[in-house]
């Protein structure tokens, strides 16, 4: 089957082979390094909780103390569980408190002491992974009990007031109005915090803080909505930034269903060090794979800074790289919410046909992935009537090309944080288009050799040319040169590099060991 675009299958195979070759050196780099966030995620799996009086999590205090005494290159598990055995502390939280007070020092044991510490660490981390397994099984039971939405794409809607207790009723109202996936957008700037705040939060700027307790509260509320509505309502948050592995772990423990988790977003748009990001994202995706979480990638963001026509091939290249990185970490195709967006200037002649070509290319390159289709933002002007019309065209492309996840566009984009009434109007738009045109993708076939096919072939050809250059020059160099989103991010720059360490010969991570064994 050559599909509606009549793509050259040899070219498609070539593109994937090049993505694999471009991505493998980065995977090798990630496999040979660790970060403070990876090590904190391991200890969170082992059961450490809580924060000190200043709000800094005990896991940060503990990892910082280990790093000061013996460095990160050996992993923190062995020195931590060795200290736990000889210090008299009852658990990891007490050990962290002792370390913060200066009454515990860390060392690298040898012989039987090292073997015992490894066994204790593996046992504790395995308990955390089993909890993630139980939450995944719980999701599967609830989906079987309540059912999935009757139609695709799933309707994905953002709720974020800054106050988790205000988010909950808004999220439940959105679910009643037809949303299938509720995304609690994260407070601006949290991605640059090198710790995860503790407990429920009641203030945030343009979003709500991602914390374990906020995850728990929203998941419980949406479980109530699932029971009320007779369909399982999914919950999304963000596993990105300097605490990507930890937030992924907390999401698995609290049964979130989707997480924004792009391989390059933090590098390009938050100036986080590339090496730190790639190491963190590999571990976070291993957790997502185990938890049965669908990831959402961020290619749509490239089109907010680069031209959506000229840079269309960079979106395709990033999708192919994200697919390779995800598969290598253990994610299946059904977990790959690869991103793309309706961001072509609407005043450009044939803009709608171009959007169709780009969206259909993504659909045919990744036939088994639940692609995440993103609404117009860059060219929203504040004219709410024009905005609602653009969103309707966006919704039409989504159904014509069989997208999997459709983020609801707001007519007040770039004007205000949406009110409930704005969401209701936007959801009416979605429901009308999907109801009127829901099966139209079965009938829509572009003309053989016509505009849409030619454009898709051109973008695929440009993608292959770019991948060939990346293979020759290296992905880290391509990022440094501003290839994606016109952002230039050198491998030795950005935030978080000091939290990266090369593996020593005796490096041990029980979480990676368990996840990769599975």
Residue positions annotated with a catalytic role: 265, 300, 372
Radius of gyration over every alpha carbon of the chain, rounded to an integer in angstroms: 23
- Please state, in angstroms and rounded to a whole number, the distance separating the CA atoms of residues 89 and 373: 50
Query: 336 in helix, strand or coil?
Result: strand
Do 405 and 372 touch, CB atoms closer than 8 A?
A: yes
In degrees, rounded to 5, the angle at the alpha carbon of residue 102 between the alpha carbons of residues 507 and 124 is 40
What separation in angstroms does the CA of 142 have from each of 132, 234, 235?
15, 11, 13
Which two structure tokens, joined as six digits, stand for 344? Answer: 């072509």
Do 334 and 367 touch, CB atoms closer than 8 A?
A: no
Do 315 and 299 touch, CB atoms closer than 8 A?
A: yes
Residue 245 burial by CB count (10 A; 0-12/13-18/19+): exposed, middle or buried?
Answer: buried
- Please state, in angstroms and rounded to a whole number, the distance separating the CA atoms of residues 89 and 138: 33
* Cis previous bond, 153, omega within 30: yes
Report helix angle 244-253 to 36-45, nearest 10: 20
Which two structure tokens, joined as six digits, stand for 427? Answer: 């959801």
Q: Which of 432, 424, 366 is nearest to 399 (CA)?
A: 432
Contacts of 136 (CB under 8 A, 6+ apart): 252, 255, 290, 291, 292
- Please state, in angstroms and rounded to a whole number, the distance separating the CA atoms of residues 491 and 480: 7
The H or E element containing residue 155 is: strand 154-159
Do 451 and 354 touch, CB atoms closer than 8 A?
A: no
Q: Which residues pair with 337 in a beta bridge?
A: 296
Do 416 and 378 touch, CB atoms closer than 8 A?
A: no
Q: Which of 409, 408, 322 is nearest to 369 (CA)?
A: 322
Contacts of 131 (CB under 8 A, 6+ apart): 253
């Amino acid at each position: 089957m050559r599909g509606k675009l009549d793509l050259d299958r040899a070219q498609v195979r070539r593109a994937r082979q090049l993505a694999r070759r471009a991505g493998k050196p980065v995977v090798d780099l990630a496999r040979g390094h660790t970060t403070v966030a990876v090590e904190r995620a391991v200890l969170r799996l082992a059961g450490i909780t809580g924060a000190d009086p200043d709000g800094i999590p005990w896991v940060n205090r503990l990892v910082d103390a280990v790093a000061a005494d013996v460095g990160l290159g050996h992993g923190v598990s062995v020195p931590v569980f060795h200290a736990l055995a000889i210090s008299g502390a009852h658990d990891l939280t007490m050990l962290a408190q002792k370390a913060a007070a200066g009454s515990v020092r860390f060392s690298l044991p040898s012989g039987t002491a090292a073997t015992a510490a490894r066994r204790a660490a593996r046992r504790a981390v395995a308990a955390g992974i089993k909890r993630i397994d139980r939450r995944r099984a719980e999701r599967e039971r609830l989906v079987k009990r309540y059912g999935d939405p009757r139609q695709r794409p799933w309707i994905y809607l953002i709720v974020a007031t800054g106050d988790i207790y205000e988010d909950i009723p808004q999220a439940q109202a959105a679910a009643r109005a037809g949303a299938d996936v509720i995304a609690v957008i994260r407070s601006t700037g949290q991605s640059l915090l090198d710790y995860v705040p503790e407990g429920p939060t009641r203030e945030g700027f343009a979003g709500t803080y991602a914390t374990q307790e906020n995850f728990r509260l929203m998941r419980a509320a949406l479980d109530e909505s699932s029971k009320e509505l007779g369909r399982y309502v999914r919950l999304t948050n963000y596993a990105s930034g300097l605490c990507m592995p930890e937030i992924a772990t907390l999401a698995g423990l609290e049964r979130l269903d989707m997480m924004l988790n792009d391989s390059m977003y933090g590098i390009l748009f938050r100036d986080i060090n590339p090496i730190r990001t790639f190491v963190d994202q590999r571990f976070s995706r291993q957790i997502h794979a185990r938890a049965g979480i669908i990831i959402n990638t961020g290619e749509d963001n490239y089109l907010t800074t680069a031209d959506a026509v000229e840079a269309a091939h960079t979106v395709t290249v990033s999708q192919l790289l994200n697919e390779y990185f995800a598969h290598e970490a253990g994610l299946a195709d059904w977990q790959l919410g690869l991103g793309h967006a309706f961001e072509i200037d609407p005043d450009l002649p044939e803009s709608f046909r171009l959007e169709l070509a780009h969206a259909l290319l993504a659909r045919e390159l990744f036939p088994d992935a639940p692609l995440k289709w993103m609404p117009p933002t860059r060219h929203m002007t504040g004219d709410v009537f024009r905005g609602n019309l653009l969103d309707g065209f966006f919704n039409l492309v989504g159904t014509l090309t069989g997208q999997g996840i459709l983020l609801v566009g707001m007519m007040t984009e770039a004007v205000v944080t949406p009110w409930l009434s704005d969401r209701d109007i936007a959801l009416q738009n979605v429901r009308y288009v999907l109801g009127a045109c829901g099966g139209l993708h079965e009938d829509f076939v572009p003309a053989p050799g016509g505009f849409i096919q030619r454009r898709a072939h051109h973008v695929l050809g440009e993608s292959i040319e770019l991948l060939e250059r990346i293979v020759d020059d290296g992905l880290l160099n391509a990022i440094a040169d501003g290839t994606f989103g016109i952002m230039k991010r050198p491998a030795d720059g950005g935030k978080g590099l000091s939290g990266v360490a090369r593996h020593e010969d005796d490096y041990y991570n029980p979480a990676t060991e368990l996840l990769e064994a599975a």
